[in-house]
Amino acid sequence: MESVEEKTGSISAAQLRAEKRRRKLLLNSEDRMNRIVGSTKKEPDNSGASRRPTEPRFHLDLDRTEPWSLSSASQRPSPFLSEAPGATRSHTATPERRGSPLPDFSEPRRASLEGDLAGLRQRAKGERAGSDEVSGSPRRGFQQYLSRLDDAMKLRSQLASEKPAQEGGSDIEEFDPFRVFRLVGSILLAVFVRVFVCKYLSIFAPFLTLELAYMGLSKYFPKVEKKTKTTVLTAALLLSGIPAEVINRSMDTYRRMGDVFSDLCAYFFTFIISHEILLLFGSETP
Amino acid sequence: MAAGCAWFLVLGSVFLCNLMKILLPTISTFLSKMVQKDAEQESEMRTEIQQMKKEQSSISMMDEFARYARLERKINKTTDKLKTHVQSRTAQQAKMKWVVNIVFYILQAALMVSLIWKYYSDPVTVVPSKWIAPVERLVAFPTGVAGGVGITCWLVVCNKVITLGLSTIS
């Protein structure tokens, strides 16, 4: 019986030693990380400020009052990721998230990436909170770097997932019903204008009216979710700190302008062709 | 008559350029097939390897090891040779594709420049200037003829329309 107790005692002592060793190793890894990051963090005080590397640390973040931390670029919400898990915003509620130009990001990959990166960010944030008094700017730089890294990782995976699809159907424009309707309407209007209207009015006046009508009609057509292509421009804008929402809106405007330009080209082309055909058959002279 | 058909000439040129752009991969593949003389040799090697493999499968490794090993070595040798052939053919194909692309883009640029040169001061077609007001100057650029449709404007319009049309078809 005693031998059994001794045995359990020895096991628990061994476990204790193992736990001690594990903590020591963790502390060492923390030191190594600090060295890599280039932080000149002092040894933490023993009066309650000491932290273990395994503790959750974002609660310290909430107590932060330093002014630089509010205006820090690292506080910029990542265009692809919401803030750390402890933050108030959720994934779906984040406007940047909803307006992300990468809407069809593959879910499992995103989850795993977010897991990795959020963990890293959380750790860094906790560390920052602890060492703000000592060294602000290296931490801020690190945070900024992490935020950029998040974006870069997202873009990389997005580009990787998009690549096969783009290879399959490169340079082929998507034709949703509204687009076809617009083009057909422009062509018909051009013929009509050439036959009846152009003698009295500039040809661009009916076209502008038609475009206004299209703007009003667009809401009656089913909304087609267009796959936004992640271009080098998008990537560059994202990495230079412009929020995804702004980029997405700009891309949307750009697409609308492209649609109007396509309509105008179809309209003008049809007008000129009809004019030439009418001239050819000699029905009328300009 | 020639001046009257300027719009059609430009339209035809743009259409041909776009069509050629779509057909470029086919053209480069066809040309590389024409250039390569040893395609038959490659198919012969493939047949030979298949035959040898068939023969090897019919031999018992235990009973006729020497023959089996000799055949194995022969297969390996031919396979290596075939690999080298295929590699060189692929490299040649890539080179051909690159050359065809470069030649096409040079020809396209030359054609466009010559068209712009030719119709720099003459409009491709003329309509009454009040029809295209208030952008008649923009449409007429660089001719400066009131009511004229300039070559640049017409090139842009034709290119856009043909791209749209071809993408619809394809």
Torsion of CA B23, B26, B27, B28, to 10 degrees: 120
Q: Say yes or no: B57 and B126 in one domain.
A: no
User: pTM higher than 0.80 for the full model?
Assistant: no
- What type of residue sits at position A284? E
How close, in Å, is residue B102 to chain A by CA atoms? Answer: 19
Residues of B in contact with A262 (CB under 8 A): 160, 164
Q: Is residue B40 part of a domain?
A: yes
Q: For B56-110, write each residue's pLDDT tens digit.
A: 899 888 888 999 999 999 999 999 999 998 998 889 889 999 999 999 999 999 9
DSSP A201: S
Q: Say yes or no: B85 and B4 in one domain.
A: yes
Q: Is residue B20 part of a domain?
A: no
Q: Is residue B93 part of a domain?
A: yes
Contact B141, B121 (CB under 8 A): no
Contact A109, A157 (CB under 8 A): yes
Q: Say yes or no: B102 and B142 in one domain.
A: no
Q: Say yes or no: B46 and B113 in one domain.
A: yes
Q: Say yes or no: B50 and B99 in one domain.
A: yes
The residue from B78, B94, B119 where one domain ends is B119
Count: domains in chain B: 2
Domain that holds residue B138: 122-169
Q: 3-state SS of A138-170?
A: HHHHHHHHHHHHHHHHHHHHHHHHHHHHHHHCC
Q: Say yes or no: B129 and B62 in one domain.
A: no
Is the C-alpha dihedral spanning B51, B57, B59, B61 positive or negative?
A: positive
Q: Say yes or no: B58 and B126 in one domain.
A: no
What mean pLDDT is predicted for residues A187-208? Answer: 92
pLDDT exceeds 50 at position A262: yes
DSSP A222: P
> What residue of B is the nearest CA neighbor of A279?
B4
Residue B110 to residue B122: CA distance in whole angstroms: 19
Q: Say yes or no: B112 and B127 in one domain.
A: no
With H, G, I as helix, E, B as strand and everything else as coil, classify residue A57: coil
Q: Is residue B16 part of a domain?
A: no
Q: Say yes or no: B76 and B145 in one domain.
A: no
Q: Is residue B14 part of a domain?
A: no
Q: Say yes or no: B112 and B140 in one domain.
A: no
Q: What are phi and psi of A43, to 5 degrees?
A: -65, 130
Q: For B131-140, write each residue's pLDDT tens digit.
A: 998 888 999 9
pLDDT exceeds 90 at position B167: no
Q: Say yes or no: B126 and B106 in one domain.
A: no
Output the pLDDT for position A252.
Answer: 87
Q: Is residue B32 part of a domain?
A: yes
What would the two tokens of residue A132 be?
């703000």
Residues of B in contact with A183 (CB under 8 A): 164
- State yes or no: ipTM above 0.85: no
Q: Say yes or no: B113 and B132 in one domain.
A: no
| Closest listed residue to residue A268, CA positions, set B145, B154, B143 | B154
Q: Among partner residues B131, B135, B157, which is closest to A265 by beta-carbon distance?
A: B157
